Structures are given as structure tokens and as C-alpha cells.
Structure 1
Amino acid sequence: MLRFMPVGDSMTIGSAGEHTWRYRMWQHLCATYGGPFTLVGPRETLYDKAAEAPTSYAYADPGFPRAHLAGWGEGWLHMAPLIGEAVRSCRADVLLVSLGLIDLGFYTNAEQTAANARTFVAAAREANAGIHMVLLPVIPNIRATTDEPFAEQVTLFNELLAKTAADLDEPRSPVLLAAPPEPYDIDTDTYDGTHPNASGEHRIAAAFAEAMWQDWDLGGEYAAGSS
């Protein structure tokens, strides 16, 4: 059984009442992947905005493997120390990683964030020498439209992440950089300029799915109109 672990921040954990892109990815793999698979991770909840804590199980559709390693307000800085044990305990085969916005917004500059991404990859490989990883660049968000220094850091980090993926990629444990979701419009694909709505969930899932299909022949083309 192929075991996928979604890793990310608030856009990946999602909040109460949402489907999440994790659900969209599960739907896609159910339709396109020919073998047994599941989603794994040490966490299962959504973020509860009222409680300001990751305590909700109120998925729009709870009927899927809800496991993940994602947290509201967490980034590469936070996940790098956790990923080794998560990969080991959950026996993950493929990591689908969407991180960086939080790091750049609150904790580290582009160079430091890229260094933490390298630490993350090394820790994942220490736990599973054959781990496969798909890394998503920081995608459009509202802060980058009004904060020019932040936007410059996002651009630089995405360039450094591409270099990181190229440097660390190896046949036994490939590191794949996904293309940013295209198109992705913060006015129509998010509900607040940052967090994906249903359309945005599909676009993020599609970015991961297309990368795995085109580079690894895993799954298939993403059906953009699926529910």
C-alpha cells in the first residue's frame, strides 16, 4: 500500500467545515491510482477558529483518511524537527509538502527557510531512505500584493526551493518541485486572500497530482471539475 503524507500549514490542515485539498487529493487518487493507497500522518483534526486550536473533526465530508502532518501557523521551521518521527511511525512513502508562507511571514528569511527545507529533507530520508517528496512553492497570497519586501522574499524563496529540489533530487529518493497552481486567483480561489476555498482546494491538489503524473507516471491527469 502506498502511503501519502500531506505536510503543511493552515492551507493544508484546513478549518472546521471545509473539505481541504487533502480530501480532493484522496478523491483524485481513488479515481486514477490503480493500487491500494492511503493518507497517513500523526494528526487528523481541522483547525477550530472559535477555539483557536486544532480540535475540530467537522469535515465537510469526513469519509476519507484524514491523517496528516499540518498545523495552523506552522512552517518548515516547525516541521523539520517533526518529520523524521512522523515518517518513521506512519511509514510514509510520499510526502506532499506545502510550506513556507508562515516561515517568511513571521520567522525566517528566504535563505534560512531554504536551509530548513534542506534539514527537513535530510530528516525524512534518515527515517526512510527511499522517501519520495513533492514540494509546492509558496503560492499567491494577499500579503504579497501589498507588502513588496515580503513579495520579494517569496520570489527568492521559491527560487531557492527550486535549487534545493534540484540539488537534493536523487533516483532512490526523488525530490520533485511542483509547478504553482495555474491559474490561481486569490479573489476567486481563496476565501480571505490566503486560505483556499473549494476552487483553491482543487487547484492545490491538482498541482501535486500533475507533478506526480508527469514526472513519476503516478495517478493520472487531474479532473478539475470533480466534486
Structure 2
Amino acid sequence: MLRFMPVGDSMTIGSAGEHTWRYRLWQHLCTAYGGPFTLVGPRETLHDPATDAPTSHAYADPGFPRGHLAGWGEGWHHMTPLIGKTARSCRADVLLVSLGLIDLGFYTNAEQTADNVRAFVAEARTARPGIRMAVMPVIRNIRAEADTAFADQVAHFNELLAKTLTDLDAPDSPLLLVPPPASYDFHTDTYDGTHPNETGEHKIAAAFAEAMWQDWDLGGPYTAE
């Protein structure tokens, strides 16, 4: 069984009442992937806005494997120390990573964030030799429109991320840069300028699905259900 582990921030954990892009990708793989698979991770909950804590089980559709390693306000800075033991304990085969917005906004600059990417990859490979990682660049949000310095850091980090993944790519543990969805617009694909609504969820899931299909021959073309 192929075990996918979503790793991300608030855009990945989602909030109470949402489907999440994790659900959308699971739906896609149910029809496009020919073998047994599941989603894994040490966490299963959504973020609860009422308590500002990851305590909600109120998925719009809870009927899917809800395991993940994602957290509201978490980034590479937070996930790098966790990824080795988590990948090992969950026996992850493929990491689906969407991180960086929080890091650049609050914790590390572009160069420091890229250093954390390298450490993350090393920790994951030590724990699970042969692990595959599909990594999405930071998607611009409303802050990037208003804050030029932040927008510059996002652009610079995305350049460093692409170079880092190319430099660290290995045949026995491939790293895949997931092209961000070309049509994604935070004005229409989010509900607050950052967090995806239904169309945003589909576009993020499609980006991961299409990249894995085209580069790894895994799954097939994305069709929104």
C-alpha cells in the first residue's frame, strides 16, 4: 500500500466545516491510482476557529483517511524537527509538502527557510530511505499584494526552493517541485485572501495530482469530483 503524508500549514490542515485539499486529492486518487493507497499522519483534526486550536473533527465529508502532519501557524521551521520520527512511525512513502508562508512571515528569511528545507529532506531520508517528496512553492496571498518586502522574500524563497530540490534530487529518493496552480487567484480561490475555498482546494489538489502523474507516472489527469 502506498502511503501519502500531507505536510503543511493552515492551508493544509483546514478549518471546521471544510473538505480540505487533502480530501480532494484522495477523491482523485480513488479513481486515478490503480493500487492500494492511503493518507497517513499523526494528526487527524481540523483547526477550530472558535477555540483557535486543532480540535475539530467537523469535516464537510469525514469519509476519507484523515491522517496528516499539518498545523495552523506551522512551517518548515516547525516540521523539520518532526519529520524524521513521523515519517518513520507512519511509514510514509510520499510526502506532499506545502510550507513556507508562515516561515517567511514570522520566523526565517528566504535563505534560512531554504536551509530548513535541506534539513527536512535529510531527516526524512534518514528515517525512510527511498521516500519521495512532492513540494509546492509558496502560493502568493493577500499579504504579498500589500507588503512588497514579504512578496520579495516569497519570490526569492521559491527560487531557492527550486534550486534546492534540483540539487538534492536523487534517483532512489526523488524530489518533485510541484508547479503552483497557474489559475490560482487568492481573490477568488480563498475565503480570506490566504485559505482555500472549494475552488482553491481543487486547484491545490490538482497541482499535486498533475505533477505526480506527469513526473512519476502516478495516478492520472485530475478531474474534479
Q: Same fold (TM over 0.5)?
A: yes
Structure-to-structure mapping, 1:166-205, within 5 angstroms:
166-205=166-205
Gapped regions of structure 2 (runs ≥ 5): none
1:85 and 1:171 map into 2 onto residues whose CA distance is 23
1:195-215 CA-partner distances (Å, limit 9, x unpaired): 000000000001111110000
Q: Is the 8 A contact 1:140 1:184 kept in 2?
A: no
Rounded to whole Å, the distance in 2 between the matches of 1:71 and 1:126 is 23
SS at match of 1:7: strand
Superposed displacement of residue 24, structure 1: 0.3
Structure 1 runs (4+) deviating above 4 angstroms are none
The count of aligned residue pairs is 225
> Following superposition of structure 1 onto structure 2, how do residues 12-91 of structure 1 map, counting pairs within 5 Å?
12-91=12-91
Q: Could you tell me which residue of structure 1 aligns to residue 151 of structure 2?
A: 151
Post-superposition Cα deviations, 1:124-146, rounded to whole Å, max 9, x if no partner, equal: 00001100000000012000001
Residues 1:126 and 2:135 are matched in the alignment: no
Identity within the alignment, %: 77
TM-score of the aligned structures, taking structure 1 as reference length: 0.98
Instruction: Report the CA distance between 1:187 and its aligned residue.
Output: 1.2
Instruction: Please give the alpha-carbon distance, in whole angstroms, between the structure 1 residues aligned to 2:60 and 2:178.
Output: 27
Secondary structure class of the residue paired with 1:4: strand
Cα separation, 1, equivalents of 2:102 and 2:188: 22
Secondary structure at 2:193's aligned position in 1? coil
Helix, strand or coil for the counterpart of 1:80? helix
| Structure-2 separation of matches of 1:101 and 1:187 | 17
How many Å apart are 1:36 and its aligned residue? 0.1
* Amino acid across the alignment from 2:137: P
3-state DSSP of counterpart to 1:81 = helix
Structure 1 residue matching 2:81: 3-state secondary structure: coil
**Distance in 2 (alpha carbons) for counterparts of 1:78 and 1:43:** 15
- TM-score normalized with structure 2 length: 0.99
Give the letter aligned to residue 46 of structure 2.
L
Question: 2:160 aligns to what?
Answer: 160
* TM-align CA RMSD: 0.5
Gap runs ≥5 in structure 1: none
Q: Report how far residue 100 of structure 1 moved.
A: 0.1
* Structure 2 partner of 1:100: 100
